[in-house]
Structure 1
Amino acid sequence: MISPIFVGHGSPLMAIQDTPCTEFLLDYGSKLAPKAIVIFTAHWETEVLTISSTDDIYETIYDFGGFPKELYQIKYPAKGSTQLAHTLAERFKAKGIRVNLDATRGLDHGSWVPLSRMFPQPECPVIQISVHPYLPPAEQYRIGEALRGLDQEDILIIGSGATVHNLRAINWNAVSPDAWAVAFDDWLIAGIEQSNLEALFHYDTLAPNARMAVPRPEHFVPLYLAMGSGDPQRQAKVIHRSYEVGSLSYLALSF
């Protein structure tokens, strides 16, 4: 059994720089042997839930600019699985969730960056799934519920995003986390540990500094997708917490 997780993927630089978060990812991944990985990435937005469906090696997508040349030379040669993609699609359809399959899209950095630190040598199929950032949190959670039980099959479900992701609030000179970002994550952690779904679904009006922390929800909604896929009887817990440039959160949780 492998619990679903949410991870903060932060800057693409984490693919080539060692940080507390990358050390955590490597250590956490070294203890797992998933049969497959299903990852919801903040960097693939669609109106209809879309699943990568290929048996080939994915193209590595460099969906960013202005970074060191070595970052653009990294390849993450993970393979997909059409069989698993179709299995997932049927699960979503059974819950009345519309779904498309995509046979051509590669892995964006919301997927390959954290995966390259967790599993430097890909050994199992990877399925990438898009997000619709403007669906309500309760609906995001319901989408995640369609995958509930896959943890019992040793399939690792990952929500890849960030709880606090406001690039306009970055403080390059920060030597400690910004208090407003910490307060938002504190509120979020308390709600998750207490299984207070009603409050979590209304974070935008209840959480302190919500508009600052989540100016746009694409990086935030993978949290609900991962949370929904977990066993509600299992205690959710923080598995890593660190910050960069003041407010960029690398909070990670298991469900």
Structure 2
Amino acid sequence: MISPIFVGHGSPMMAIQDTACTEFLLDYGKKLAPKAIVIFTAHWETEVLTISSMDDVYETIYDFGGFPKELYQIKYPAKGSTELASSIAERFQAKGIPVNLDSKRGLDHGSWVPLSRMFPNPDCPVIQISVHPYLPPAEQYRIGEALRGLDQEDILIIGSGATVHNLRSLNWNATEPDAWAVAFDDWLVENVQKQDLNTLFQYETQAPHVRMAVPRPEHFVPFYIAMGSGNPDRQAQVIHRSYELGSLSYLSIAF
């Protein structure tokens, strides 16, 4: 059994820089031997939930600009699985959740950057799934619920995003995390561990500093999907927490 996780994927630079978060990802990946990986990425937005469906090696997408040349030379040669993609699509359809299949799109950096640190040598199929950032949190949670039980098949579900993600608020001279970012994550962790779904679903009116922490929800909604896919009888665990540039959160949680 492999617990679903939410991972703060932060900057693309984590693919080539060693940090507290990349050390965590490497150590955590060494403990796992997934038969397949299903990853919801904040960098693929669609109105209809869309699932990558191919058996070949994915193209590595460099969906960012202005970074060192070294970053654009990385290839992450993970393969897909049309069989698993179809099985996942059936799970969503059974719950009345519309889906599309995509046979062309490669892995964006919301997927290949954290995966390259967790599993440097990909040896199992990867299924990448899009997010619709403007569905309400309860609906994001329901998307995750459709995948409950995959953990019993040793399929790792990852929500890849960030709890606090405001590029305009980054402090390039910071030596400590910003208090407001810590307060938002504290609120989140407290309510996750209390399993207070009602409060979590109302984060836009209940969480402190929410407009600073989540100016746009695309990086936050993978958290709700990962949480929904976990076993509600298990206690959620913070598996990593660190910050860069004052407010860029790498909070990661297992469900």
TM-score (norm 1): 1.00
Query: In structure 1, what is the equivalent of residue 41 of structure 2?
Result: 41
Q: For residue 171 of structure 2, what is the amino acid of its counterpart?
A: N
CA distance in 1, matches of 2:138, 2:237: 20
Q: For residue 251 of structure 1, what is the amino acid of its counterpart?
A: L
Query: In structure 2, what is the equivalent of residue 202 of structure 1?
Result: 202
For the residue of structure 1 that corresponds to 2:2, the secondary structure is: coil
Give the drift of 1:180.
Answer: 0.2
Query: In structure 2, what is the equivalent of residue 150 of structure 1?
Result: 150
Query: In structure 2, what is the equivalent of residue 167 of structure 1?
Result: 167
Alignment of structure 1 residues 1-255 onto 2, 5 Å: 1-255=1-255
Aligned residues: 255
Gaps of 5+ in 2: none
Q: For residue 65 of structure 1, what is the amino acid of its counterpart?
A: G
Gaps of 5+ in 1: none
Q: For residue 146 of structure 2, what is the amino acid of its counterpart?
A: A
CA distance in 2, matches of 1:168, 1:202: 24
- Structure 1 segments, 4+ long, off by >6 Å, are none
Give the percent of matched residue pairs that are identical in Structure 1 and Structure 2: 83
For the residue of structure 2 that corresponds to 1:51, the secondary structure is: strand
For the residue of structure 1 that corresponds to 2:28, the secondary structure is: helix
CA distance in 1, matches of 2:214, 2:208: 11
For the residue of structure 2 that corresponds to 1:86, the secondary structure is: helix
Q: For residue 112 of structure 1, what is the amino acid of its counterpart?
A: W
Give the drift of 1:127.
Answer: 0.1
List per-residue Cα deviations over 1:156-204 (Å, max 9, x = no partner). 0000000000000000000000000000000000000000000000001
CA distance in 1, matches of 2:192, 2:149: 19
Q: For residue 96 of structure 1, what is the amino acid of its counterpart?
A: G
CA distance in 1, matches of 2:176, 2:204: 25
CA-based RMSD of the aligned residues comes to: 0.2
Give the drift of 1:95.
Answer: 0.2
List per-residue Cα deviations over 1:63-109 (Å, max 9, x = no partner). 00000000000000000000000000000000000000000000000
CA distance in 2, matches of 1:40, 1:96: 19
